[in-house]
Chains A and B, each alone.
Chain A
């Protein structure tokens, strides 16, 4: 970039996947380059949502769920998202499970945020729905790229799809001096070599303060916590994250932040660590070699072995 044309900063946002999405970039102040890149980046969100939404009866995901027992050829987006979700399920022994859709329905997460329409009730109670879940009933043929649901299942790719869209959007902005994509609790912060790193405040899920600030480049940061979205049908602290094995919300962890090369990975691992609890959650993150912070409801904040690694961490001391 010529020093005579200082970089410009621009940002665009839209509402997708039940959250506010923002992409911003610093790049050449030449014509439409920056804005076009931001538009391309944000276009991935409706694209991923169109394929992966369980609230939209016309999504590729919903159409797959409507045909249990049949072998269906899946498009690349759905196949990769589902394959990754099943890998996470296998690694976590089902603590993360994309077949938990029915359990979520039973808990009242049935409303399409866009039009307020409720998706039909599966007719199953919470516990029944949890038992009916099971990622092993989803059969993938990785060579033919087909999916077969061994029995009727409601798939939910929520914890994977948003991260995937963030990662795809970030790739559209790669090459810019600095860029960032944020969607709900997921973000990717990119910077060219030599460019100023991003300073990310890591919120303390137990209050309104920060645990500290991270200084980093080209990494995704995802925070998962139970406090933001109480379950519509819940009365006792149940929230939007559930333990697929029990059908109940995990209680031991207040929030998890994971830093990884991709938002999809970070989000899935943060969700799984929430479910596994402070000790096994940190163990999972260590096993996978990612940096993370696990904040239990009670007791000391735990950091993974890989934390902070190459990042700079400035804790805020209470």
Chain B
């Protein structure tokens, strides 16, 4: 290393988080929404706002992927610069762990729903089931989470992007 500095990053990191969190909390409380447990911003609203200049692709609000029936609903989109053709468009994404299939519903040029129609990367169960047999036999069927989940997340986003590309290309 070019230069050594005796800083404890664990302490510095934790202090930074406390600082940001406390300030966020103070701001939330001073906003005076009245509710006892007032969220700073509803996640869906925040995304919709953030999307004022973006396409709807990021406005996906996924609910409880552990349950069976429609597991995804889209956040309401108030303005979308890209106009899509109405209809239901499907997309699939794959990674080396498996993939997703999604159905994106467009009404009046706007995304009204994103539904996850098939998941093969819903881990731990599905992901672990694809692991070498001895791994499953030994213990890992019993894990709550697996590190390094980027592949499934990208597969999911790619599937949505693919569905949207269909909607835009023929629109």
List chain A positions with a Cβ less than 8 A from chain B. 9-16, 18-20, 22, 32-33, 36-37, 39-40, 42-47, 49-50, 58, 76-77, 80-81, 83-84, 87-88, 90-95, 112-116, 164, 167-168, 171, 180, 182, 184-185, 187, 189, 198-203, 205, 208-210, 213, 221-223, 225, 228-229, 255, 257, 260-262, 264-265, 268-269, 276, 280, 284, 288-290, 314, 316
Q: Which of A14, A94, A95, A115 contacts B60 (CB 8 A)?
A: A14
Q: Nearest 6 A-B pairs (CB), nearest first? A: A20-B153, A265-B13, A13-B62, A93-B2, A223-B148, A201-B143
Contact B9 A88 (CB under 8 A): yes
Bound together, the chains give a CA A3 to CA B131 distance in angstroms of: 38
Which of B151-170 touch A at CB < 8 Å? Answer: 151-154, 156-157, 160-161
Q: Closest residue to B46 on the A side, CB-wise?
A: A46
Q: How far is the CA of A15 from the CA of B72 in the complex (A)?
A: 12
Q: Does B94 contact A (CB under 8 A)?
A: no
Verify A40–B17 contact, CB threshold 8 A: no
Alpha-carbon gap, A258 to B16, bound state (A)? 19
Contacts of A112 in B (CB 8 A): 54
Are B10 and A261 in touch, CB under 8 angstroms? yes
The answer to whether B43 and A12 touch across the interface, beta carbons within 8 angstroms, is yes
Are A19 and B154 within 8 A (Cβ)?
Answer: yes
* B145 located at the interface, meaning its Cβ lies under 8 Å from any Cβ of chain A in the complex: yes
**Closest A residue, CB atoms, query B138:** A316
Q: Which of B1-46 contact A (CB under 8 A)?
A: 1-5, 7-10, 12-14, 16-17, 19-21, 23-24, 37, 39-44, 46
- How near does chain A come to B80, taking the closest CB pair, in angstroms? 10
Whether a CB of chain A sits under 8 angstroms from the CB of B118 is no
Contact A229 to B150, CB < 8 A, known contacts A11-B66, A94-B2, A208-B96 = yes
Q: Which of A14, A15, A116, A201 contacts B128 (CB 8 A)?
A: A201
- Contact A14 B47, CB 8 Å, known A43-B42, A115-B57, A185-B150: yes
Does B139 reach chain A (CB closer than 8 Å)? yes
* A200 and B153 within 8 A (CB): no
Q: Which residues of B contact A198 (CB under 8 A)?
A: 144-145
Of the candidates B23, B39, B61, B66, which one forms a contact with A36 in the assembled complex, judged by CB atoms under 8 Å apart? B39
